Amino acid sequence: MIPINNLQCIEDRNEYVQPSEFAMQLTYKDIWLDYFLNKQYLVSQLMGGTLLTLNNDECLNSKGQSVLKFSKQFINQLENIKANDYKMKSAKVNFIVYWLKEGEEQEVKIILPELYFEKQHDGITI
């Protein structure tokens, strides 16, 4: 251990209850990147803050067209979130950024969404 002057170590032993709701900002690892290769026209019609409709492992635009799919890794994470009695409530476009697939020359616009979850008790959202 390295001695440091004037350093205090404080341990927090409080127990905290789970929040009734929370937001999650997704990253490149949470979405299926190749899915955007054929969705450029639809993505170009969106902007930050646009509401999306949740549909299982994907998000839809206001016309019901699929604009993004979640990665397998994130789908597994969603199962863990559901196991803790949270339900996806809503989604919106957080950012639209460019991604360059390895070996390609053309950048592709992708959506990084923000998802909102709420706690359920016995199947009832609170």
Domains in the chain with CATH codes: 21-125 (3.30.70)
Cβ distance 67 to 46 under 8 Å?
yes
Q: How far apart are CA 53 and CA 66, in angstroms?
A: 9
Minimum mean pLDDT among 21-25, 63-67, 95-99, 117-121: which range? 117-121
Residue type, 24: M
* Nearest alpha carbon to residue 111 among 23, 21, 51: 51
Residue type, 73: Q
Whether the pTM exceeds 0.75: the reply is yes
Token pair belonging to 84: 């803790």
Query: Which pLDDT belongs to residue 3?
Result: 77
- Note the pLDDT tens digit of each residue in 59-103: 999 999 999 999 999 999 999 999 999 999 999 999 999 999 999
